[in-house]
Structure 1
Amino acid sequence: MSVIDISDNQLQGPVPNSTAFRNAPAEVLEGNKGLCGGVKGMQPCKVYSSHKKNSGAKWFAIVFPVLGALFVSMALIAIFILRKRKSDSGDPQSSSQNPQGLFSILNFEGKLVYDEIVRATNDFDAEYCIGNGGHGSVYRAELPSGTVVAVKKFQSPLPCDQIAYQKEFLTEVQALTEIRHRNIVKLYGFCSHARHSFLVYEFLERGSLAAILSNDAAAQELGWSQRMNVIKGVADALSYLHHDCFPPIVHRDISSKNLLLDLEYEAHVADFGIAKFLKPDSSNWTEFAGTYGYIAPALDEMLDPRLPTPSRIFQEKLISIMEVAFSCLNESPESRPTMKIVSQQLTSAA
C-alpha cells in the first residue's frame, strides 16, 4: 500500500511505521487528534515510558515469586539441619531436669534411648537386676545424662503363650500412661521390640516395701508413723484408681512387692500387669488374680516386734486402722466400704 487517506475518522493511537504513512501528506491524516507517531506534523507517542512501566511490572511478577520460593526453601533446610543436630547431640542438662521430655523420644523415635538403656544395663546383666517378678525383672539403669531409671524387662523370648504376655505388657502401658497421682509410680516410656520388651519407670530409691520388711535394719528405720503414711498413701492411690479414673481401674495385685518407697518413705503403687479396667455397665465379679497371702492379714501382723511398743496414741490409731481393714473383709461386697471412704477414714485416724 503506497497511498492512504484516513482523514476525519477521529482515530486514536500510534500510526504504523510504514512508508505509506511516513510519506503521506498532512491533509490525509487530518481530523484524527488522537493519532501519534513518527509522521511529520504529528505528536510523538509516549512509547518509552509505557514500555518502562510494563517492563517493571513484568520483572516484579517474575522475580518476587522466585525469591519467595528460595527463602522458604532455605528456611526449611535450616530447620531440618537444626533438628538433626539436636537429635544427634541431645541436651543432657534439659534431659536431666525433665525426665518426661527425655523419654517422650522413647515413645516415637526411641532408638537413642533404647541403646542407652541396653548399654546402661550391660544388655540386662544380672549385676544391674534389683528385683524379679512373675513375668519379668527390674533393672537399675543410669543414663549418660545422669538420670537414673527403673527398667522392667519382660521375659524374652516370649514363651508359647506369648499373646498373654503381650496383652499384659500393653495393659500396663495403657494403665500407666492414663493416670497421674503422687502415690502411683510414673511411667516415662516403653519399648516393644522383637528382642526386648520393657517399661521405663521413675527410680524410687528405697525399693519395695517387701524388701524393706525382710531386712531387720531397714525395717527398724520404718517406724510406726512412716508405716501409717504408707497405708494412707496406698489407700489414696486406690481411691484415685477406683473413683477418679474412667473407666475405673482395679489393680488386682496389691502386695508389699508392688509398693515402692521413695527417700521420704512415700508409697508408690507399681506393677499394673494384671490391672482390670471395669466397664460401668458390666459386672465387677471376676476370678481371683494376684498374690496369695494378701487377702486377709492376721491380727498379729499389725505389730512388728522389731519396733518399740507404740505409744497409747499410736495404739489407738492402729486399732482404728485395724477396724477399717477388717471392714474391707466383709463377706458381702455391698457391705464393704469403698476405697474413697477408706481413704477418708484413714485420714481421720491419722
Structure 2
Amino acid sequence: MIESAVGALVKDGCKDHCGSVSIPYPFGIGENCYMNKWFEVSCNETSTAPTTFLTSIEVEVLEISLADSQVHVKSPMMSVNYSGRTAGKVVKLAGSPFMFSEATTTFIAAGCNNSAVKSQIEPLIDACESTCKNKSSDPEWYCTAERCYESMIPSPLQVFNATFDREDSKECKLAFQADVEWNYSSDNNITDPNWQFKVYVPLVLDWGITMEETNGLYLNYDSPIWSVGGFSSPNFGFLNDFVKLRGCYDGYEGNPYLPYGCQDIDECKDPKHKPCGHLICENKPGTYVCKGNKAWPILLGISVGFGVVCLLTGTWWMYKILKKRKKMKLRKQFFKQNGGLLLQQQLSSTKKNIERTKVFSIKELEKATDNFNRDRILGQGGQGTVYKGMLVDGRIVAVKKSKVLDKKNVKEFINEVVLLMQINHRNIVKLLGCCLEIEVPMLVYEFIPNGTLFQYIQDQNEDIPLTWERRLQIAAEVASALSYLHSEASIPIYHRDVKSSNILLDEKYRAKVSDFGTSRLIAIDKTHLTTNVKGTFGYLDPEYFWSNQFTEKSDVYSFGVVLVELLTGEKAISLVGAEEEEARGLASHFILSMEEDNLFNILDPQLRESSAHGEITKVAKLAYRCLSLSGKQRPKMIEVAVELEQIRLLQNNSNSQQNHEETGYVKNEVTNQWDSASRGALSLDMEPLFSSEPWGSLEMQQSSNTI
C-alpha cells in the first residue's frame, strides 16, 4: 500500500485533480488510488474542459467535499414532448455507499398542467403538480412558466424515477431532483429564455464508508479527531451500515481517510497569522498558547479597562435605580393624593359585583398607548384627551387623560367612580377602571369601534344602510340606557349632554351611550347625580333657561332631538339663508312641520320610501311629546323606552301602508298641544302611553358596558 505524505489529500503518486475538480481519497483516479470500486473516478481530458465521472454510478462529478461527506453531481432532467431533449434516465444508487442527500435535495416539476410522480420504483414517494395561468404561444418556452417543488425527500432514497400523468398531452413537461441551494439561487431563473435548454442541474449525494473500512484509522491517533455519523437503508435492500467522517477537527488539517491524514496545524509558524503578536507563541495539539514577560502590561491594561467599565456600569445602574425609586415614590404620593386608598376600600367593601374593574398603573397605560403617542389620539377637548390603547390581555380601550381635578373634591370623585364602575348595561359604555398614579387621574373605558351616531346619520354608508329598522333599534337602545340611568341605578344619574355625537356604535352597530367629556360628577340635593357639563346648543331643554334647574325631563327633551335626527337625517342646528348666516333649530322646525301636516316632507328620503309609515308616525308623535315646552308634559324616560320597545315588537306585524287619517290625527293632536304650550301649559289629552296591563320591568342584562 502506498503511504501518503503528512497532510496530503491523496495517496502518493495519485492525481489529486481532474481539471478544476479536486479528487481526495477515498476517491481516486487510477488503480490503487481509491478505497474500493464505488469511489473510482475517471477523468476525460479529451474535451475542451476536462470532465470527471464516478464510474460506478455513471454520473458526472462537479465537486467532492470531505468535510460534509458529500459529492455534487449533475442530475439528469426527465422530459416529455420536448424537442431536442432526451427523455432522461433513472438514477439508481442501490447497493452503493451513495444516497440522495435528505437535507439538500428538492423535487421539481415544470411545464403546463404537469403532474409528476417521484418514486423509488416501489413504493410511490411523492407527487408534484404545476398548473397554467397565461399560456405562451411557444409551448416549449412554457415549460418554465409554471412549476412546483417539494423541499424534502424521504430518507434514505437511492433510486429516483419520475413518471408523468397525462402523458398524452402535447405540452412539454420536465421533472428532476436538484440541490435546494441551486433552486433558490440566481442560476435558477425561470424567466431566462435559455433556462429550458439546460441538460442537467446540480444534485448532492451523501456518502460514507463501512465500519470495517475505518479499522486502522483510529489506531494512528491518541484521541479521535473526527466525528462519526451513520446511515443505513434496510427497507430498500441496502443492508450494510456506513459512517460519515466529518473531516478533521479545528486545529488540524489533512484527510481523515488516510493514515496520519489529520495532522496538527502549527499556528505559530504561520507568518500571516501571528496569533500572539509580540508575545511568545507555543504550539499545542489542535491549538496554541501565548506567553512571555510582555504579557503583564496587556493583562494590566485589560484589568484596568475592565474595572473602569464596571465602575461606569455600576454608576449608571445606581442612577437608574435612584431615578426609578423617585418615580415610584412620586406615583405612590399621587395615588394617595387622588384617593387611591379610599378607592381600594370602596372596591373591597362594596356588595355589588364590579366585573373586571381595575386600578391601572401608569406603566400599564403607557405601554397600552405607546407612551401616549399622538397617533393614538381619538379626540381632544377642553377637559382632556382620549387615547386608543391595547391592554396586555388584548382588549382595546379608550384612555381619558384629563387636564384638571379639583383636589377638594377627591372624595366625591372616588365615590362617583365606584358608582360608575357598578353601572352595567349593554347600551352604556363600560368604565373599566382608572389610574391614580399621576397628578390628574385617568379613566379607562371600553373602546367602541364604529364612531358616533352623528357620523352614521350624516355620512351614511351604502354597505350598512341606515334603514328604518336600524334607526328604531338605535332609538330603543338609547332610551333603554337613559331609562336605566334615571330609574335603575343606585343613585339616579342625569346625563345632561344627550346628543347624537355622544352615542357610539359598536361592531354590530348597537348604540352605546357615552360622554368622554365628563371626568367627574357633582351631587345635587344628594338625590341624584348629573354630569358637570353645560350641554350642547340645539339639544338643551328650553325650560332649563327659564328655571336654571336641570331635571330628568331635560334628558328627555335632548333625546327627543336625537329622535328627530333619526327621522329627518338633519343636524340639530343648521345654517339657512342666502349666505347661511341664520341658524335654525331642528326641534322647532320639526314642531312647525307637524303643525302644518308636513311630517313626511321633512323625513329622510330613505324613510319616505319605507312601508313602515305607521311606526314612523308613532315615533314622530313620541318625539313631539319629548319636545314639549313644559317638562311636566313630557313622558318619563322609562315610558319612552317602553313605548319604543312596543313599537319594535309590533313592527313585523304593522301595516306597511301609511294611514293618512292617522297623519291627520297627528296634525290635530300636535296643533292642539302647541296651542296650549303658547298659553303656558301643554295638554296631555293624547292616547295613553301604557295599556291597562303593566308592561313589566326593563331587562338589565349583565355586560361590560357603562358610562
- d(CA) in 1 for partners of 2:471, 2:374: 31
Instruction: Name which of 378, 381, 403 aligns with 1:133.
Output: 381
Q: Which amino acid aligns with 2:471?
A: R
Quick one: structure 1 residues 331 and 172, their matched pair in 2 at CA, closer, same or farther if it must change by over 3 Å? same
Q: Which amino acid aligns with 1:193?
A: E
CA displacement 1:265-286 (0-9 Å, x = unmatched) = 111111254756665879x999
Instruction: Name which of 336, 340, 344 aligns with 2:642.
Output: 344
User: What's the counterpart of residue 623 of structure 2?
Assistant: 325
- d(CA) in 2 for partners of 1:117, 1:194: 11
- d(CA) in 2 for partners of 1:146, 1:287: 33
Q: Secondary structure of 2:616's match?
A: helix
Q: Which amino acid aligns with 2:567?
A: M
**Is the CA contact (8 Å cut-off) linking 2:413 and 2:521 kept in structure 1?**
no
Higher-Rg member (1/2): 2
Deviation at 1:173, TM superposition (A): 2.1
Q: Which amino acid aligns with 1:335?
A: Q
**Is the CA contact (8 Å cut-off) linking 1:190 and 1:200 kept in structure 2?**
yes
Using the size of structure 2 for normalisation, the TM-score is: 0.30
Larger RCO: Structure 1 or Structure 2 (Cα < 8 Å, ≥ 6 residues apart)? 1
Deviation at 1:169, TM superposition (A): 5.8
Quick one: structure 1 residues 281 and 300, their matched pair in 2 at CA, closer, same or farther if it must change by over 3 Å? closer
CA displacement 1:245-294 (0-9 Å, x = unmatched) = 23211111111221111111111111254756665879x99999312222
- d(CA) in 1 for partners of 2:386, 2:532: 27
1:206 and 2:504 aligned = no
User: What's the counterpart of residue 506 of structure 2?
Assistant: 262
Using the size of structure 1 for normalisation, the TM-score is: 0.58
Instruction: Name which of 518, 532, 535 aligns with 1:290.
Output: 535
**Is the CA contact (8 Å cut-off) linking 2:389 and 2:399 kept in structure 1?**
yes
Matches within 5 A, 1:120-199: 120-155=368-403, 158=404, 162-163=406-407, 170=414, 173-199=417-443
Number of residue pairs the alignment of both structures matches: 240
CA displacement 1:157-198 (0-9 Å, x = unmatched) = x3xx84599699657624421311111111111013334521
Deviation at 1:204, TM superposition (A): 1.4
Quick one: structure 1 residues 285 and 242, their matched pair in 2 at CA, closer, same or farther if it must change by over 3 Å? closer
Matches within 5 A, 1:300-315: 302-304=567-569, 308-315=606-613
**Is the CA contact (8 Å cut-off) linking 2:495 and 2:530 kept in structure 1?**
no
**Is the CA contact (8 Å cut-off) linking 2:413 and 2:520 kept in structure 1?**
no
- d(CA) in 2 for partners of 1:253, 1:290: 5
Deviation at 1:236, TM superposition (A): 0.5
Q: Which structure shows the bigger proportion of residues in helix conformation?
A: 1
Unaligned runs of 5+ in 2: 1-353, 541-557, 570-602, 649-707
Quick one: structure 1 residues 171 and 215, their matched pair in 2 at CA, closer, same or farther if it must change by over 3 Å? farther
Deviation at 1:345, TM superposition (A): 1.1
Deviation at 1:312, TM superposition (A): 4.5
Q: What is the alpha-carbon root mean square deviation over aligned residues?
A: 3.6
- d(CA) in 2 for partners of 1:209, 1:167: 34
- d(CA) in 2 for partners of 1:274, 1:145: 28
- d(CA) in 1 for partners of 2:369, 2:532: 37
1:253 and 2:497 aligned = yes
**Is the CA contact (8 Å cut-off) linking 1:219 and 1:306 kept in structure 2?**
no
**Is the CA contact (8 Å cut-off) linking 1:137 and 1:154 kept in structure 2?**
yes
**Is the CA contact (8 Å cut-off) linking 1:274 and 1:290 kept in structure 2?**
no
Quick one: structure 1 residues 122 and 288, their matched pair in 2 at CA, closer, same or farther if it must change by over 3 Å? closer
- d(CA) in 1 for partners of 2:429, 2:643: 24
Deviation at 1:229, TM superposition (A): 1.0
Deviation at 1:302, TM superposition (A): 2.3
Q: Secondary structure of 2:389's match?
A: strand
Deviation at 1:232, TM superposition (A): 0.6
User: What's the counterpart of residue 669 of structure 2?
Assistant: none
Quick one: structure 1 residues 321 and 182, their matched pair in 2 at CA, closer, same or farther if it must change by over 3 Å? same
Q: Secondary structure of 2:385's match?
A: strand
Deviation at 1:339, TM superposition (A): 0.7
Q: Secondary structure of 1:222's match?
A: coil
Quick one: structure 1 residues 292 and 302, their matched pair in 2 at CA, closer, same or farther if it must change by over 3 Å? same
CA displacement 1:103-156 (0-9 Å, x = unmatched) = 53xx2xx33xx313212322222201112334122211012332211112212x
Instruction: Name which of 244, 251, 263 aligns with 2:488.
Output: 244
- d(CA) in 1 for partners of 2:473, 2:367: 37
Deviation at 1:211, TM superposition (A): 3.3
Q: Which amino acid aligns with 1:293?
A: G
Q: Which amino acid aligns with 1:317?
A: E
Quick one: structure 1 residues 332 and 186, their matched pair in 2 at CA, closer, same or farther if it must change by over 3 Å? same
- d(CA) in 2 for partners of 1:314, 1:137: 42
Query: Identity percentage over the alignment?
Result: 33
Once the two structures are overlaid, the 10-residue window that deviates more, 307-316 or 131-140, is 307-316
User: What's the counterpart of residue 26 of structure 1?
Assistant: none
CA displacement 1:57-99 (0-9 Å, x = unmatched) = xxxxxxxxxxxxxxxxxxxxxxxxxxxxxxxxxxxxxxxxxx9
Matches within 5 A, 1:79-118: 100-101=355-356, 103-104=357-358, 107=359, 110-111=360-361, 114-118=362-366
User: What's the counterpart of residue 67 of structure 1?
Assistant: none
- d(CA) in 2 for partners of 1:146, 1:285: 33
- d(CA) in 2 for partners of 1:254, 1:278: 19
**Is the CA contact (8 Å cut-off) linking 2:494 and 2:531 kept in structure 1?**
no
Q: Which structure shows the bigger proportion of residues in strand conformation?
A: 2
CA displacement 1:290-317 (0-9 Å, x = unmatched) = 1222237496872238763444543322
Unaligned runs of 5+ in 1: 1-98
- d(CA) in 2 for partners of 1:118, 1:287: 28
